Homo-oligomer: A and B are copies of this chain.
Amino acid sequence: MKGAAPRIPRKKARRAAGVILGVEVGKASSYRRCRRARPSVGGAQLATRSETGEFLVAPDPGRAGLTRAVRGVDQTGAVQDIAVVEERPLTIYLNSREIVTAMTIGDYPEYLALGFLRNQGMLSDGDEVTGIDYDEELEVVVVRTAVVTDHEAKLARKTRTSGCAVGTVFGDMMAGLEGLTLPPATLRTSDLYALSQKINRTPSLYLEAGAIHGTVLCEGPRPLVYMEDVGRHNAVDKVAGWMFATGASAADKTLYTTGRLTSEMVIKTALMGIPILASRSGFTAWGVEIARQVGLTLVGRLRGQRFVCLAGEERLVRDADLASVADEPGKARRKGAA
């Protein structure tokens, strides 16, 4: 599968043209019920359908093919069937050029492809996408543009594996930060706590099977688009693909991630134009440094009522009554999607 884009028989391919990609903006079209009885998190009941209905794209832990039951034995010798997330290759083409093979859980391949290309600087917001062909059997997605650029040459063929940003482009991404100024924005601490609570209570692949990362695009107190994947970069790329496809504004958004606030996460968020990045996890020094340089607000270690803001504190509006924010029960703590 090198060189020319694979010929995908039209009847096999799921073809999405333009910017809608089959997702109706304004409703949680992909939401289905959990297969299991709704579990509780730290004693708190998970959100109900009407609550998660505020998502435009909600996690879909019950979707066929995202998890698999695998049989093992526990410490007592008892047989256990546990739900394990899938990890499968998806090869992304830009026009006739093979760009990358990403390891992914497999949902939203079109968004993953668009967002990957956008975040690697191979698609610009002004570029016209004339078609996206996804072939589930071949595990290939082809993004076609009206004007064929030389962006395709930016990458030699390589595979991006879970939790991994492809690197050649890293230097270019840093260059893209020069002169970037993120817009002013406001982060109300009351919104931050509301987001954290809603996201933690949302039925997700993480709660179903663990070993997975989540990224959520938020606006004020409302989580809009909740993507999950084996690698945190895929999850962010899917959000970026959704934004590219729907033409969503970035200046009024907050990006929430379950992963660490490393340099790549900060760079991606800044290049997406989003002024605020929040996480349950910690920081790296370079992540903080870049955030300060580009004026990104960085909130980490967000658990219960606690958080630390290491960059862009001027956007914080401390309107929450801390006494009314419950500290996080031990059971609700996210563990180990490392």
User: Which residues from chain A sit less than 8 Å from chain B, CB to CB?
Assistant: 67-68, 70-77, 80, 82, 84-88, 100-101, 103, 156-168, 170-171, 189, 209-211, 213, 230-232, 258-264, 280-288, 301, 305-311, 313, 316, 318, 322, 330, 333-338
CB < 8 Å neighbour of A338 from B71, B161, B171, B232: B232
Q: How far is the CB of A193 from chain B (nearest CB, A)?
A: 9
Known contacts being A189-B75, A258-B338, A330-B330, is A211 close to B167, with CB within 8 Å? no
Whether B284 lies near A211 (C-beta < 8 A) is: yes
Whether A80 lies near B282 (C-beta < 8 A) is: no
Which B residues lie within 8 Å of A213 (CB)? 338
- Per CB-CB distance, the 8 closest pairs between chain A and chain B, nearest first, are A159-B167, A164-B164, A211-B282, A163-B163, A72-B310, A281-B336, A330-B330, A210-B282
* Copy count, this protein chain: 2
Whether A263 lies near B87 (C-beta < 8 A) is: yes
Q: How far is the CA of A104 from the CA of B98 in the complex (A)?
A: 29
Q: How far is the CB of A295 from chain B (nearest CB, A)?
A: 15
CB < 8 Å neighbour of A333 from B71, B284, B305, B333: B333
From A230, which residue of chain B is reached at the shortest CB distance? B284
From A307, which residue of chain B is reached at the shortest CB distance? B75
Q: Other than A72-B313, A84-B288, A211-B281, give 16 A-B pairs with Cβ distance below 8 A.
A: A73-B316, A77-B318, A82-B283, A85-B284, A85-B285, A87-B286, A103-B286, A156-B158, A156-B168, A158-B158, A158-B168, A163-B163, A164-B164, A164-B167, A210-B281, A211-B284
Whether A84 lies near B158 (C-beta < 8 A) is: no
Whether A288 lies near B70 (C-beta < 8 A) is: yes
Which B residues lie within 8 Å of A282 (CB)? 84, 209-211, 336-337
Which B residues lie within 8 Å of A70 (CB)? 283, 285, 288, 310
From A337, which residue of chain B is reached at the shortest CB distance? B338
Which B residues lie within 8 Å of A337 (CB)? 260, 281-282, 338
From A302, which residue of chain B is reached at the shortest CB distance? B75
